[in-house]
DNA sequence: AGCACGCCGACT
DNA sequence: GTCGGCGTGCTC
């Protein structure tokens, strides 16, 4: 009996965002399963695209109107997307307004994305001279972007005349790493005989034979070459002579560079104990309960995670732990690996695509029982989840900023429900959304109020910089902070200095006419980068030399303003010439592994001061750091965003926790121009509860989340008028379906009106219940697709992290 | 997305 | 008269 396969094709458009039916060729009947990738013909030409089998069903009653095409080939021997993840991709597509195909691809490692190639070959009828000109001696020509427009024109014409044929190739990007394994193929006596019949000059072969005589087990070719200082040719000779066999074996790329020390579970304090047993009980009873684990820095949250995970493993289940990308330092991974060893797979952006693919395959094959990773690790194909941990659940990096715009925490909760397992959201400063749900008993609140060693919280001093400015010359360092740094230097202790970069950068301005160098593509000032001696745009990457003469008035009084980490570093070396400083920012951590190397150097006491941006606030645990300085606490406060206070409070609380984690007491200085702001005052005492109460009042008054839901809609176009017009139309359309209770903010031009030559307009809808909103937004997306040829782009972000 | 079809301006 | 420019519509 013939079968039909419903296939989601790799054509990310609104119109094709639906399964297409294909006939299953006889050879594949009863072989093909949902979740396998296939190659299918799609469209007018004979173009081939990749697709995912969505459903297999018997050919019930064929619709005479549509003639089905037949599936070309299968790309996988077994499904690469399991039933759970298929369901999840469907849910994701609906909740994030994304295409199903985009969701499927997001869940898989990049190595599994299709690679498309178009090949042309001559027919018999093609004139010999043209054939020679186009193809030379080759039988096929790759048709890609590298061809000249003239050649493309010529090919198109020839194709119309059927003088050439086009072949579409769909292939895997994935590469399975293979390694040659060497094994002796002769007995010792045979090898000894071969050894004695060698010519005297065959030194290399003699060493090889000696080795084979002494070592009878398998060894990898690179290892052997290294050990015996041989080249591969000697081994090939050995193979030809029948001394040994070489066999290519599939191996995993190993992303772990360092070995870890095995650790044992630590003794828990009563609070930790309570938390662990609550989570374990949910795992044991297969309850999809959500826990909000609230614990100040140093209260031992990680140990709670580890023991909850160990319990899941002991039940024959698996554990997934998400951590924010930025804190995915060897410190955290090391602790998990120290406890669970080889069962751990790691997924984060620092891996190469091959390493990522290999870790993913280990999980897929059930060879890893524990997965630690950043945002996208939430899609790890674990099949028997016993517990899911979301560490630092308030972190903004859990939200993906492009399609599908999902929040890893939401996906984690969905998977928890699917697997009937607990989800643990951990934080010292929970997001207001989560804390509010705990208040309503949607989540179970678990508290770790004490630091494990009963250390006192660091002593926090707020430094009023307006006051400082009056007494001293303009500087990034207040007198008290400088004094404290000096003391640490004398005592041989370490300090962390954080520069809050959000909404802040250094730029150049002409002192005579006030001219500020702008990006030609974006409406934003260029940022000064001393290391490359250039001015860069942080939005589009535009780069140009630093001007010495004002381009506007041709004056010579060009001056640097603002504070970049480089400038602070410079001032620091002038003020404290003996201090050894490590600077950590986007510039110094761009190269792979640079982040880890810098932290290791600091951990090894090769520096006194670690100066950095937000990235130093999280997950660091250096016992000799006794001073933390925040140079500019309030740059984020000035931003017109409802989460500005929350972010500031979280950041300050977190960075303060970095001081004095061991036996030595810590001290924190927060420099600010808003010393009385509640976010800063409450961060000083680490009073999360009071902050929560205060902030919730403000959110309630302003009709902000978590009291209201929000959707952000962004429209962009190279022509400002088109973007504005499209937005006006959208607003009109939305107003007809929205209830009077919904609140529309905007439309407003984007915070940076123009980015990369495109103009942005945006709109935020705040609402409580709008039954028609979803369908209206999908309709808007569909309409926008038609205009997308004109360059119009539209993005819909449900539950945006910011309104900017 | 990418391919074909279809309708208008500048060439042999 | 055609060649080829790109605006439109569709893809099982």
Confidence of residue A375 (pLDDT cuts 50, 70, 90): very high
DSSP A481-508: HHHHHHHHHHHT-EEEEE---TT---EE
Instruction: Show the tokens assigned to A169.
Output: 């190739």
Q: What average pLDDT does range A474-495 have in this prediction?
A: 87
Let me know the angle formed at the C-alpha of A654 by A323 and A428, rounded to the nearest 5 degrees.
65
Give the bases of strand C that a protein CB approaches within 7 Å: 4-5, 8-12
A774 CA, B7 C1': separation in Å?
38
- Find which nucleotide's C1' atom is closest to A14's CA: B1
Q: Mind listing the pLDDT tens digit for each residue in A114-132?
A: 999 999 888 888 888 888 8
Residue with the larger pLDDT of the pair A592 and A555? A555
- Find which nucleotide's C1' atom is closest to A42's CA: C11
- Find which nucleotide's C1' atom is closest to A45's CA: B3
pLDDT > 90 fraction of chain A, expressed in percent and rounded: 43
In 3-state terms, what secondary structure has residue A770? Answer: coil
CA closest to C1' of C6 belongs to A789
Task: Provide the 8-state DSSP code for A30.
Answer: T
A42 CA, B2 C1': separation in Å?
10
CA closest to C1' of B1 belongs to A11
Task: Check whether A714 has a pLDDT greater than 80.
Answer: yes
A720 CA, C11 C1': separation in Å?
32
A778 CA, B7 C1': separation in Å?
32
CA closest to C1' of C11 belongs to A43
Number of helices (H), then strands (E), belonging to chain A: the values are: 23, 34
Q: Tell me the CA distances in angstroms from A258 to A251, A255, A334, one per residue in order.
A: 18, 9, 9
For the ranges A55-64, A94-103, A402-411, A673-682, the lowest mean pLDDT is seen at: A55-64
Most confident of A49-58, A324-333, A628-637, A756-765: A49-58
A159 CA, C3 C1': separation in Å?
16
**Which secondary structure element, helix H or strand E, spans residue A599, and what is its range?**
helix A594-603
Q: What average pLDDT does range A419-434 have in this prediction?
A: 97
Identify protein residues whose C-beta is within 7 angstroms of any atom in strand C.
A 11, 13, 15-16, 20-23, 41-44, 66-69, 153, 157, 786, 789
- Find which nucleotide's C1' atom is closest to A16's CA: C11
Distance CA A804, CA A391 (A): 26
- Find which nucleotide's C1' atom is closest to A13's CA: B1
Task: Please list, in sequence order, all residues whose beta carbon lies within 8 angstroms of the beta carbon of residue A568, skipping any fewer than 6 positions away.
Answer: A476, A497, A499, A611, A631
A111 CA, C6 C1': separation in Å?
36
Nearest to A358 by CA among A176, A196, A218, A227: A176
Could you list the residues of A known to form a binding site for Zn(2+), using ranges.
510, 513, 519, 522, 537, 540, 550, 553
Q: What average pLDDT does range A753-767 have in this prediction?
A: 87
Distance CA A610, CA A625 (A): 10
Beta strands in A338-422 (DSSP E): 344-347, 370-373, 385-390
A43 CA, C7 C1': separation in Å?
19
Confidence of residue A270 (pLDDT cuts 50, 70, 90): very high
Dihedral sign for Cα atoms in the order A541, A546, A552, A557:
positive
CA closest to C1' of C3 belongs to A157
What pLDDT, on the 0 to 100 scale, is given for residue A95? 95
Backbone angles phi, psi at A691, to 5 degrees: -60, -45
Nearest to A673 by CA among A618, A631, A640: A631
- Find which nucleotide's C1' atom is closest to A7's CA: C12
- Find which nucleotide's C1' atom is closest to A11's CA: B1
- For chain A, give the mean pLDDT: 87
**Which secondary structure element, helix H or strand E, spans residue A752, and what is its range?**
strand A743-755
- Find which nucleotide's C1' atom is closest to A43's CA: C11
- Find which nucleotide's C1' atom is closest to A40's CA: C12
CA closest to C1' of B5 belongs to A44
- The total of other beta-carbon atoms located within 10 Å of residue A9's CB is 22
What pLDDT, on the 0 to 100 scale, is given for residue A504? 47
A788 CA, B10 C1': separation in Å?
30
For tokens 């090889």, the residue is: A208
For the ranges A205-214, A347-356, A617-626, A638-647, the lowest mean pLDDT is seen at: A617-626
What pLDDT, on the 0 to 100 scale, is given for residue A27? 92
A161 CA, B5 C1': separation in Å?
16
Q: What average pLDDT does range A335-354 have in this prediction?
A: 90
Contact A754, A719 (CB under 8 A): no
Distance CA A342, CA A348 (A): 17
- The total of other beta-carbon atoms located within 10 Å of residue A1's CB is 6
Residue with the larger pLDDT of the pair A368 and A758? A368
Give the bases of strand B that a protein CB approaches within 7 Å: 1-4
For the ranges A18-27, A325-334, A594-603, the lowest mean pLDDT is seen at: A325-334
Could you list the residues of A known to form a binding site, using ranges.
510, 513, 519, 522, 537, 540, 550, 553
SS3 content of chain A, % helix, strand, coil (to 5): 35, 25, 40
**Which secondary structure element, helix H or strand E, spans residue A695, and what is its range?**
helix A688-701
Q: What average pLDDT does range A227-242 have in this prediction?
A: 82
Distance CA A690, CA A700 (A): 15
Task: Check whether A415 has a pLDDT greater than 90.
Answer: yes
For the entire predicted model, the pTM comes to 0.88
What pLDDT, on the 0 to 100 scale, is given for residue A277? 97
A161 CA, B12 C1': separation in Å?
21
Dihedral sign for Cα atoms in the order A536, A540, A541, A542:
negative
Question: First CA to last CA across chain A, in angstroms?
Answer: 57
Q: What average pLDDT does range A272-278 have in this prediction?
A: 96
CA closest to C1' of C4 belongs to A153
Task: Check whether A702 has a pLDDT greater than 50.
Answer: yes
Identify protein residues whose C-beta is within 7 angstroms of any atom in strand B.
A 11-13, 15-16, 43-45, 47, 116, 118, 159, 168, 788
Q: What average pLDDT does range A266-294 have in this prediction?
A: 96
Q: A473, exposed or middle or buried, with CB in 10 Å at 0-12, 13-18, 19+?
A: exposed
Q: Mind listing the pLDDT tens digit for each residue in A528-539?
A: 776 677 787 776
Residue with the larger pLDDT of the pair A466 and A649? A649
A157 CA, C2 C1': separation in Å?
14
- Find which nucleotide's C1' atom is closest to A46's CA: B3
What pLDDT, on the 0 to 100 scale, is given for residue A28? 92
A241 CA, B6 C1': separation in Å?
69
A773 CA, C8 C1': separation in Å?
29
A70 CA, B6 C1': separation in Å?
29
CA closest to C1' of B4 belongs to A44
Q: Are strands A494-498 and A625-630 parallel, antiparallel or unpaired?
A: parallel
A15 CA, C10 C1': separation in Å?
9
Task: Check whether A287 has a pLDDT greater than 90.
Answer: yes
Q: What average pLDDT does range A547-569 have in this prediction?
A: 78
A144 CA, C5 C1': separation in Å?
22
- Find which nucleotide's C1' atom is closest to A785's CA: B1
Q: Report residue A80 CA to chain centroid gap.
A: 21
Confidence of residue A503 (pLDDT cuts 50, 70, 90): very low
Distance CA A464, CA A486 (A): 20
Distance CA A680, CA A672 (A): 8
Task: Check whether A211 has a pLDDT greater than 60.
Answer: yes
Contact A431, A801 (CB under 8 A): no
CA closest to C1' of C8 belongs to A786
Contact A32, A56 (CB under 8 A): yes
């Amino acid at each position: 009996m013939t079968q039909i396969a419903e296939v989601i094709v790799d054509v990310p458009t609104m119109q094709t965002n639906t399964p297409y039916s294909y006939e299953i060729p006889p050879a594949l009947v009863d072989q093909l399963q949902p979740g396998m990738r296939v190659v299918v013909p799609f469209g007018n030409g004979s173009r081939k695209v990749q697709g995912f089998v969505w459903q297999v069903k018997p050919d019930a009653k064929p619709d005479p109107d549509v003639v089905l095409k037949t599936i070309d080939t299968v790309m996988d021997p077994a499904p690469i997307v399991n039933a759970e993840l298929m369901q999840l991709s469907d849910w994701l597509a609906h909740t994030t307004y994304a295409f199903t195909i985009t969701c499927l691809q997001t869940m898989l490692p990049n190595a599994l994305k299709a690679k498309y190639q178009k090949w042309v070959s001559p027919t018999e009828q093609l004139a010999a001279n043209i054939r020679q000109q186009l193809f030379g001696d080759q039988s096929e020509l790759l048709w890609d972007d590298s061809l000249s427009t003239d050649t493309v024109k010529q090919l198109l014409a020839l194709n119309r005349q059927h003088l050439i044929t086009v072949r579409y190739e769909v292939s895997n990007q994935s590469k399975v790493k293979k390694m040659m394994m060497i094994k002796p193929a002769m007995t010792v006596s045979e090898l000894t005989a071969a050894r004695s019949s060698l010519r005297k000059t065959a030194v290399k072969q003699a060493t090889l034979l000696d080795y084979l005589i002494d070592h009878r087990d398998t060894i990898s070719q690179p290892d052997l070459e290294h050990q015996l200082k041989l080249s591969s040719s000697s081994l090939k000779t050995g193979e030809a002579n029948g001394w040994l066999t070489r066999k290519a074996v599939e191996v995993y790329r190993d992303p772990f560079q360092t070995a870890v020390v095995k650790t044992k579970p630590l003794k828990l304090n009563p609070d930790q104990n309570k938390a662990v047993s609550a989570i374990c009980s949910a795992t044991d009873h297969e309850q999809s309960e959500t826990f909000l684990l609230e614990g100040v820095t140093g209260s031992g949250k990680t140990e709670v995670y580890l023991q909850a995970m160990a319990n899941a493993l002991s039940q024959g289940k698996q554990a997934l732990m998400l951590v924010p990308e930025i804190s995915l330092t060897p410190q955290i991974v090391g602790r998990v690996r120290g406890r669970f060893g080889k069962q751990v797979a790691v997924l984060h952006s620092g891996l190469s695509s091959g390493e990522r693919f290999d870790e993913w395959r280990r999980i897929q094959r059930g060879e890893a029982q524990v997965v630690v990773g950043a945002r996208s690790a939430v899609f790890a194909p674990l099949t028997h989840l016993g517990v899911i941990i979301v560490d630092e659940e308030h972190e903004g990096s859990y939200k993906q900023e492009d399609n599908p715009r999902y929040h890893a925490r939401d996906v984690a909760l969905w998977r928890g429900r699917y697997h009937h397992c607990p989800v643990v959201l951990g934080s010292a400063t929970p997001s207001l959304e989560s804390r509010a749900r705990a208040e309503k008993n949607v989540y179970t609140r678990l508290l770790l109020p004490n630091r494990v060693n009963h250390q006192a919280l660091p002593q926090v001093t707020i430094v009023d910089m307006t006051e400082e400015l009056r007494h001293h010359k303009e500087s990034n360092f207040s007198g008290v902070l400088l004094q404290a740094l000096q003391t640490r230097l004398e005592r041989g202790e370490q300090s962390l200095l954080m520069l809050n970069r959000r909404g802040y950068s250094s730029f150049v301005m002409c002192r005579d006419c006030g001219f500020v160098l702008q990006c030609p593509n974006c409406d934003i000032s260029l940022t000064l980068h001393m290391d490359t001696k250039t001015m860069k745009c942080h939005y589009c990457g535009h780069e140009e030399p630093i001007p010495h003469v004002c381009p506007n008035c041709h004056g010579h009084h060009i001056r640097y303003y603002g504070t970049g980490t480089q400038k602070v570093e410079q001032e620091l070396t002038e003020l404290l010439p003996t201090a050894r400083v490590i600077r950590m920012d986007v510039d110094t951590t761009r190269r792979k592994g640079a982040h880890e190397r810098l932290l290791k150097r600091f951990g090894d006491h090769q520096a006194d001061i670690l100066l950095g941006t937000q990235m130093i606030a999280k997950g660091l645990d250096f016992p000799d750091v006794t001073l933390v300085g925040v140079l500019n606490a309030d740059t984020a406060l000035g931003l017109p965003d409802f989460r500005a206070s929350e972010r500031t409070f979280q950041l300050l609380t977190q960075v303060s926790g970095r001081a004095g984690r061991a036996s030595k007491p810590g001290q924190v200085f927060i420099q600010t121009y808003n010393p009385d702001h509640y976010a800063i005052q409450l961060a000083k005492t680490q009073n999360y509860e009071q902050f929560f109460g205060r902030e919730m009042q403000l959110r309630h008054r302003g009709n902000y989340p978590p009291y209201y839901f929000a959707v952000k809609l962004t429209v962009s176009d190279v022509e400002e008028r088109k973007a504005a017009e499209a937005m006006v139309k959208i607003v009109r359309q939305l107003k007809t379906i929205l209830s009077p209770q919904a609140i529309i903010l905007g439309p407003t031009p984007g915070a940076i009106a123009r980015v990369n030559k495109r103009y942005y307009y945006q709109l935020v809808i705040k609402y409580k219940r709008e039954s028609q909103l979803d369908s209206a937004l999908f309709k808007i997306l569909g309409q926008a697709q038609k205009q997308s040829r004109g360059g119009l782009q539209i993005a819909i972000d449900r539950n945006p992290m910011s309104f900017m």
